[in-house]
């Protein structure tokens, strides 16, 4: 459905994205992950024909973004970073305007309008001025605008920004329900979101794709060992060395609380059984035992930090913690 | 409703729900009314003088004494009023980030530019229509030739369309509305003032070219009741040129 080949975008001397290649199949949900300034928005703007790529080709539903922008635009629903709403319109007036811009008329338009209002639970604010709505509602109006004409391709730039936790879950469910019939690209720097709704994740940093896979496989790929967390009720003083003596355990670290220990063993081995037996045999009191899987956060940080030594975009990457804080506040 | 009509309707709504049109319209009509009053009083004053000097009934020519002066002054009023109406057209879209939305909608830049132009032009025409009250009222009290008044209105319509297109261009250049308004003031004043340079250079080729570029002579002839193809060509071609430039500026903003 979406096919991007080697697109590069330069603003003067600054290379915003550098030979980015990826594709999205029909019905697939793809997450674009990356720190701020990584090139997510630029890529989306090229796909929506807002700006042309300096090099490379981008195709949506078989139409080239540079050659047949109108055909591409007809098949895309796009939610930019800032919801594109007109303050002096009421919700239904605004959506009617959007529908007319897309050439919808009459009954066609009114059913689509009702459907998108229902999908995004905007019924209660339907006749209110958008200027008087909260950030969360505006974001939802922006989303309603994107899904209004039921486009085969949806491009959503940080769709859950500004929503409260309940709304975030609703929007994620909506996106999940769109999967299958729609191809969706969404950008985010909230990692659990990518894990929650996407089949595939593209991690972009400094304008380059650094990884592309399913969330599970990404974390598996970057894991160097299996980790087990064990919590013991009455650990003896030499607990660390004793745990180390279990066959197959490579390393033991003290966990966050006094009785918690992290055990490392070779990749592909599950030593939970042995650990449990050992603790019980020693009568230390086994409270908890679980494997620790690598979260997407770890993968992300590892991948984007990995770049530091190799590429000149060190500063962009090292800004990451600060940047995430900004959006959180 | 076609997409262009949708844009026109949206822009008109934008004008009429904001106080801009009401304030600008009220001031425009106030100035028009006040100027008409001044010229009528002045005409009456002159008539009394003529009567005193020559005795008998003086024939008052409202066309020369009132309307020609009134229409000539409108150049200045339109120059102040129209940039205020046009400044928001593209600048506001950029500021509110709805520009990206418009550009990613399945409509051409032509349609966006046309829709925006037509919407202000309609606002302007309705304001101009309201000024028709002045000649209508004066008709009750005096006899005058309507033909130069029609050409005067034609002149104001064409001049207004040209000013609007310049304002549209200015608005497409910047995302700051104030800057957009001053840009169009500046451009329009410049086009106005170069007619002075043209007059200075006189009947040389350069002088003629410069005089042609300024809207002054073209507008003056229409106000005097003269319809010349040359002037119509001037207005339509410069209008088309300005709209073309606007199209280019909007298009090029995608490349930055």
Note whether A251 and A263 are within 8 A (CB).
yes
Does residue B78 carry a pLDDT above 80?
yes
For residues B196 and B190, what is the distance between their CA atoms, to the nearest angstrom?
10
Determine whether the interchain pair B106/A102 forms a contact, defined as Cβ–Cβ distance below 8 Å: yes
pLDDT at A206: 83
Determine whether the interchain pair B100/A80 forms a contact, defined as Cβ–Cβ distance below 8 Å: yes
Over the stretch B205-253, which tens digit does the pLDDT of each residue have?
888 888 888 888 899 899 888 899 999 999 999 999 999 999 999 998 8
Among A103-107, A183-187, A212-216, B26-30, the range scoring the smallest mean pLDDT is A212-216
Does residue B77 carry a pLDDT above 90?
yes
* Structure token pair of residue A65: 């973004």
CA separation (Å) from B68 to A48, A111, A198, A253, B145?
Answer: 53, 56, 71, 95, 12
- The alpha-carbon gap from A145 to the nearest alpha carbon of chain B, in Å, equals 10
Over the stretch A5-22, which tens digit does the pLDDT of each residue have?
999 998 888 888 888 999
* Model confidence pTM above 0.80: yes
For residues B15 and B12, what is the distance between their CA atoms, to the nearest angstrom?
5
ipTM: 0.86
Q: Which of A16, A101, A135 to mutate to test the interface with B (most CBs of B within 10 A)?
A: A101
Determine whether the interchain pair A97/B10 forms a contact, defined as Cβ–Cβ distance below 8 Å: yes
Over the stretch B85-129, which tens digit does the pLDDT of each residue have?
999 999 999 988 899 999 999 998 999 999 999 999 999 999 999
Q: Give residue A67's region: left, alpha or beta (phi > 0; psi -120 to 50).
A: alpha
Determine whether the interchain pair A97/B98 forms a contact, defined as Cβ–Cβ distance below 8 Å: no
pLDDT at A329: 36
Among A99-103, A251-255, B130-134, the range scoring the smallest mean pLDDT is A251-255
Over the stretch A57-101, which tens digit does the pLDDT of each residue have?
999 988 998 889 899 999 999 999 889 999 889 999 999 999 999
- The alpha-carbon gap from B8 to the nearest alpha carbon of chain A, in Å, equals 10
pLDDT at B56: 64
* Interface contacts A/B by beta carbons within 8 Å: 72
Query: Per CB distance under 8 Å, which residues of A are interface residues toward B?
Result: 11, 45, 48-52, 70, 73-74, 76, 78, 80-82, 84-89, 93, 97-98, 100-103, 105, 145
Note whether A155 and A47 are within 8 A (CB).
yes
């Amino acid at each position: 459905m979406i096919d991007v080949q080697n697109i590069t975008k330069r603003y003067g001397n600054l290379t915003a994205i550098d030979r980015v290649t990826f594709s999205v199949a029909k019905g697939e949900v793809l997450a674009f992950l990356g720190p701020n300034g990584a090139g997510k928005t630029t890529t989306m703007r090229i796909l929506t024909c807002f700006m042309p790529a300096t090099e490379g080709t981008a195709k949506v539903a078989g139409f080239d973004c540079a050659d047949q922008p109108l055909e591409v635009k007809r098949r895309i629903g796009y939610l930019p970073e800032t919801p594109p709403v007109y303050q002096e319109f009421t919700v239904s007036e605004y959506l009617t305007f959007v529908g007319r811009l897309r050439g919808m008329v009459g009954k066609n338009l009114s059913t689509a309008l009702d459907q998108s209002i229902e999908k995004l639970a905007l019924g209660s604010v339907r006749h209110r001025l958008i200027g008087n709505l909260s950030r969360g509602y505006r974001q939802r109006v922006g989303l309603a605008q994107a899904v209004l004409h039921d486009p085969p391709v949806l491009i959503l730039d940080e769709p859950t920004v500004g929503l409260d936790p309940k709304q975030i879950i609703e929007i994620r469910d909506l996106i999940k329900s769109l999967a299958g019939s729609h191809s969706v690209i969404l950008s985010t720097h909230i990692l659990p979101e990518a894990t929650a709704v996407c089949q595939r994740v593209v991690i972009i940093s400094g304008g380059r794709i650094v990884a592309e896979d399913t969330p599970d496989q990404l974390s598996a790929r970057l894991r160097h060992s299996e980790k087990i967390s064990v919590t013991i009720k009455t650990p003896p003083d030499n607990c660390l060395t004793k745990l180390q003596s279990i066959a197959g355990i490579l390393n033991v670290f003290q966990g966050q609380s006094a009785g918690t220990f992290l055990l490392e063993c070779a990749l592909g081995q599950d030593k939970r059984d042995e650990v449990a037996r050992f603790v019980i045999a020693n009568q230390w009191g086994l409270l908890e035992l679980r494997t620790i899987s690598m979260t997407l956060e770890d993968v992300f940080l590892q991948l984007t930090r990995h770049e530091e030594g190799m590429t000149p975009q060190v500063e962009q990457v090292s800004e990451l913690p600060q940047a995430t804080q900004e959006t959180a506040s | 409703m076609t997409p262009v009509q949708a844009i026109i309707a949206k822009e008109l709504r934008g004008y009429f729900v904001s106080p801009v049109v009401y304030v600008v319209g009220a001031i425009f009509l106030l100035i028009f009314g006040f100027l008409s009053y001044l010229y009528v009083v002045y005409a009456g004053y002159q008539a009394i003088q003529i009567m005193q000097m020559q005795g008998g009934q003086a024939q008052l020519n409202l066309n020369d004494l009132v309307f020609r002066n009134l229409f000539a002054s409108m150049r200045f009023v339109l120059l102040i009023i129209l940039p205020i109406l046009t400044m928001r057209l593209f600048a506001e879209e950029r500021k509110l980030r709805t520009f990206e939305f418009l550009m990613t909608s399945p409509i051409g830049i032509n349609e966006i530019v046309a829709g925006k132009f037509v919407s202000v032009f309609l606002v302007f025409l309705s304001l101009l229509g309201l000024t028709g009250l002045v000649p209508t009222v004066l008709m009750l009290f005096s006899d005058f030739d309507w033909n130069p008044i029609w050409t005067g209105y034609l002149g104001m319509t064409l001049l207004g369309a040209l000013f609007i297109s310049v304002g549209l261009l200015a608005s497409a250049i910047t995302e700051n509305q104030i800057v957009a308004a001053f840009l169009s003031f500046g451009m329009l004043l410049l086009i106005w003032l170069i007619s002075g340079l043209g007059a200075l250079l006189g009947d040389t080729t350069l002088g003629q070219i410069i005089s042609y570029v300024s809207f002054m002579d073209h507008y003056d002839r229409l106000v005097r009741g003269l319809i010349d193809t040359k002037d119509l060509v001037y207005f339509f071609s410069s209008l088309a040129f300005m709209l073309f430039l606007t199209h280019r500026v909007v298009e090029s903003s995608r490349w930055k």
